[in-house]
Amino acid sequence: MVARTVDLRSDTVTKPTETMRAAMATAEVDDDVLGADPTAFRLESEVAKITGKEAGLFVSSGTMGNLISVLVHCDIRGSEVILGDNSHIHIYENGGISTIGGVHPRPVKNNEDGTMDIDSIEVAIRDPRGELVFPTTKLICLENSHANSGGRCLSAEYTDRVGDLAKKNGLKLHIDGARIFNASVALGVPVQRLVQAADSVSVCLSKGLGAPVGSVIVGSKSFITKARRLRKTLGGGMRQVGFICAAAFVALKENVEKLDGDHKKAKELAEGLTQIKGLKVDVAAVETNIIYVDIVEGSKITAEKLYKNLEEHGVLVMPKGLSRMRIVLHHQISSSDVHYTLSCFQQAFTGMHQEIGSYSISTSRDVSYA
């Protein structure tokens, strides 16, 4: 029987707090498909205010938010969107922009920090004179923070430059802001400033902020009018959705201030892991709450055995390939959880009793190295 569980698979695994549950139980609700749910409207208005946009729309997930946003901007089938080759929209959203919207992705290489070279973006924009044979470029997408780059943050200045390029070419700019609050806290820059150049933003509330469900997409009033209709088309219109929005509103009000602690614990964990022989972590790249850990080639323990060993001690991580794993911190991971996790990693590599902080791990069985 596992004595404790430290779930580091993602910041989506949080459980609703008691404050969230109380807010859900007492939420004022109505039919949101008819545009009458007051709690949903309050949440949408608050996110729009924080991002400096005219209006917002609650959707069930970040994937739905990105899909709707891309389809609003690329309203003619065969339109093209420029996006990072390592971006969430391109890799992890089931190809929805293509299969559902007929939108053609034009991937540009993501740098290690999550950016795309401005010159490369410009080169990827189709020449309108070639419209007989080329797709028509309509949109550029950025992601902030950039998950596959380890939660790296895109600066306001970089985003401004992409926005200027978009405007110069008559294009729109969408930001996948799944962890935009993490970027804001890490950079010390208000969310509104980070997304100032964007025509639309998808803001996830169920990741770092810890809400149980949902995202809000924001943009102009005309954008949201079109988005609302698309949400219904995709089956995303929900009736008394205010009870879910109530929990998200609590997350927005109570958990933003906790993100800095998540980032500090992530850095502490990364620094501890890099001291373990057999592991490699780019500590400098840990800017927010995401850590990528590599098992060094030639180590005496395989990834499979490491995951099994960690799981036996209640530590859950996300495998990312044959020798890489992802660890994500969130507000329900304590400092003692960090110490315990380091102890478990150390034990997995040495097979010996270790003490880190106030927690220790021991094993009664031999660790077999293959």
**What is the reported pLDDT for 27?**
98
The CATH code of the domain that includes 343 is: 3.90.1150.10
DSSP label at 195?
T
Q: What is the rounded CA–CA span in Å between residue 315 and residue 77?
A: 46
Tell me the C-alpha distance between 6 and 211, whole Å. Answer: 19
- Does residue 55 lie in a domain region? yes
49 and 103 both lie in a single domain: yes
For residue 9, being part of any structural domain is answered with: no
Please tell me the predicted confidence (pLDDT) of residue 361.
43
Domain boundary residue, one of 231, 254, 277: 254
**Could you tell me if residue 368 is inside a domain?**
no
Among 192, 170, 173, 172, which residue's Cα sits nearest to residue 181?
Answer: 192
Please tell me whether residues 268 and 150 are part of one structural domain: no
Same domain, 131 and 210: yes
Spell out the per-residue pLDDT of the chain, length 370, in tens.
Answer: 677 999 999 999 999 999 999 999 999 999 999 999 999 999 999 999 999 999 999 999 999 999 999 999 999 999 999 999 999 999 999 999 999 999 999 999 999 999 999 999 999 999 999 989 999 999 999 999 999 999 999 999 999 999 999 999 999 999 999 999 999 999 999 999 999 999 999 999 999 999 999 999 999 999 999 999 999 999 999 999 999 999 999 999 999 999 999 999 999 999 999 999 999 999 999 999 999 999 998 887 888 899 999 999 999 999 998 899 999 999 999 999 999 999 999 999 887 444 444 444 443 333 222 2
Both 129 and 56 in one domain: the answer is yes
Contacts of 84 (CB under 8 A, 6+ apart): 90, 107, 108, 109, 110, 114, 116, 141, 142, 143, 146
Q: Give me the number of domains the chain comprises.
A: 2
235: CATH:
3.40.640.10
8 A C-beta contact, residue 346 and residue 363: no
Domain shared by 186 and 248, yes or no: yes
Please indicate, yes or no, whether residues 73 and 121 belong to a single structural domain of this protein.
yes
What's the pLDDT at 1? Answer: 65
Instruction: Give residue 304's pLDDT.
Output: 87
Residue 70's domain comprises 18-254
DSSP secondary structure of 113-142 = TS---HHHHHHHSPPGGGTTTSPEEEEEEE
Q: Are 260 and 248 within one domain?
A: no
> Does 224 share its domain with 262?
no
> Do 208 and 340 reside in the same domain of the chain?
no
- Identify whether 182 is part of a domain: yes
**Structure letter (DSSP) for residue 295:** E
Domain assignment present for 357: no
Contact between 154 and 141 (Cβ < 8 Å): no
Domain presence at residue 12: no
Could you tell me if 287 and 263 are in contact, meaning their C-beta atoms sit under 8 angstroms apart?
yes
Residue with tokens 């020449």: 127
* 145: preceding bond cis by omega (within 30 degrees): yes
DSSP character string of 313-349:
TTEE-EE-SSSEEEEE--TT--HHHHHHHHHHHHHHH
Assess whether 236 and 330 both reside in one domain.
no
Cα–Cα nearest to 135, from 76, 181, 94, 178:
76
**Tokens at residue 132, please?**
């007989």
The runs of H, that is alpha helices, within the chain are 18-26, 38-51, 62-73, 88-91, 96-99, 118-124, 156-168, 180-187, 191-194, 221-233, 242-254, 259-273, 303-312, 335-350
